[in-house]
Amino acid sequence: MSVQLSFRGLLAPVSVFVSVGIASASLGQSPYAIEVVEYLPGVGVPAGYDVPESALGAPSRFTDDPLFPSAVTPFSSAYLPAQVCGVGGGGHLVIAFESPVVDDPMNPFGIDLLIFGNSFFIDAAYPAGVVGSFFGDGGVVEVSADGKAWFEVAEVDADGLFPTLGYEDVGPYPTLPGNVPTDFTRPVDPMLGPLLVGMTHEQVVAAYAGSGGGAGIDLASVGLPEVSFVRVSLPAGSGFTIEIDAASDVSPPAADPDLDGDGAIGGGDLTILLASWGESGANIPADLDGDGAVGGSDLTILLSNWNLEG
231, 163 contact by CB (below 8 A) = no
Q: Using the Cα atoms of residue 45, residue 159, residue 40 and residue 236 in order, give the sign of their dihedral.
A: negative
Helix (H) or strand (E) holding 102: strand 92-102
pLDDT band at 28 (very low <50, low <70, confident <90, very high): low
Q: Is the peptide bond before 69 cis (omega within 30 degrees of 0)?
A: no
Query: What mean pLDDT do residues 156-172 have?
Result: 97
Rounded distance, CA 297 to CA 286, Å?
A: 11
User: Is the model's pLDDT at 21 over the cut of 60?
Assistant: no
The DSSP 8-state label assigned to residue 142 in this structure reads E
187: which residues sit within 8 A by CB, 6+ positions away? 107, 108, 109, 111, 114, 211, 214, 216, 250
As a whole number of Å, the end-to-end CA separation of the chain is 29
What mean pLDDT, rounded, does the chain reach?
89
pLDDT band at 310 (very low <50, low <70, confident <90, very high): low
CA distances from 86 to 48, 83, 155 (A): 9, 10, 21
The predicted structure's pLDDT at residue 29: 83
% of the chain at pLDDT higher than 70: 88
Query: What mean pLDDT do residues 196-217 have?
Result: 97
Q: How many CA atoms lie within 13 A of 297 on its CB side?
A: 16
Closest C-alpha to 206, from 298, 74, 94: 74
Q: Is 97 left (phi over 0), alpha (psi -120 to 50) or beta?
A: beta
The predicted structure's pLDDT at residue 309: 59
The predicted structure's pLDDT at residue 2: 39
The predicted structure's pLDDT at residue 22: 33
Q: Using the Cα atoms of residue 183, residue 186, residue 189 and residue 192 in order, give the sign of their dihedral.
A: positive
199: which residues sit within 8 A by CB, 6+ positions away? 130, 131, 207
264, 271 contact by CB (below 8 A) = no
Query: What mean pLDDT do residues 291-306 have?
Result: 82
Q: In 8-74, which residue ranges form alpha helices assigned H by DSSP?
A: 20-27
* Cα-based angle 245, 85, 95 (whole degrees, multiple of 5): 75
120-133 pLDDT, tens per residue?
999 999 999 999 99
Query: What mean pLDDT do residues 290-301 have?
Result: 80
96, 145 contact by CB (below 8 A) = no
What are the backbone angles phi and psi of residue 208, rounded to the nearest 5°?
A: -65, -25
pLDDT band at 8 (very low <50, low <70, confident <90, very high): very low
**Spans of all domains in the chain:** 2-26+264-304, 32-249
User: Is the model's pLDDT at 201 over the cut of 80?
Assistant: yes
* Cα-based angle 122, 125, 131 (whole degrees, multiple of 5): 40
